[in-house]
Structure 1
Amino acid sequence: MGWFSWIIFGALAGWIASLVVGDKRGCFINILVGILGAVLAGFIYQASTGRAWRFDWDWASFGVACLGAVGLLLIINLITGAGRSRR
């Protein structure tokens, strides 16, 4: 995929992840989380299965990217404490 495709793919995956987690950080963060989540999940997939993962425009790649972005958002929220209620 080209750079523009990575941005669009990351934005979509990050947006879906922010809907799942309920996070409202903004479009730029969604793009970053989506791209980094896709790369992170791809590496985890490759390490756990031993098969190379290709980042293409297909449902499997999108699912892996969304799962990676959700996981990354959960880690970010855990570190920053964004999910906790403040009284």
Structure 2
Amino acid sequence: MDRSILGWLLIGLVAGILGKIIMPGKDPGGFIVTILVGIAGALLAGFIAQSMGWQIVGGWQNYAAATAGAVVLLALYRLVMTRRVR
């Protein structure tokens, strides 16, 4: 199930929660948006790893890649939303 879309979505859910723990703060969308950003981060990390020829074997590597993608997307989300509000 790790290589399926459902597997990446579940890993993305965990990555969204971990991303929120790593980057605490008040997000305009709240917890649901953070989870959606985590799912998108997992998919982004999987795509980038695959396009660069990296192999994410499983286990902790899936979660590390997804969490890194979630943190990057959370930072971009906050950057865009902060500039948009001003």
Runs of 5+ unmatched residues, structure 2: none
Runs of 5+ unmatched residues, structure 1: none
Mapped contact 2:8–2:42 kept (Cα < 8 A): no
Q: Percent identity?
A: 38
Residues of 2 paired with 1:27 and 1:75: CA distance?
16
Q: CA deviation at 1:31?
A: 2.1
Aligned pairs, how many?
80
Structure 2 residue aligned with 1:72: 73
Tell me the TM-score normalised to structure 1 length.
0.71
Structure 2 residue aligned with 1:14: 16
Q: CA deviation at 1:10?
A: 2.1
Q: CA deviation at 1:44?
A: 1.3
Residues of 2 paired with 1:52 and 1:20: CA distance?
25
Mapped contact 2:11–2:42 kept (Cα < 8 A): no
Cα distance, 1:72–1:11 mapped onto 2, change above 3 Å: same
Cα distance, 1:35–1:77 mapped onto 2, change above 3 Å: same
From 36, 43, 49, give the equivalent of 1:45: 49
Tell me the TM-score normalised to structure 2 length.
0.71
Cα distance, 1:79–1:19 mapped onto 2, change above 3 Å: same
From 31, 36, 49, give the equivalent of 1:32: 36
CA RMSD of aligned residues (A): 2.6
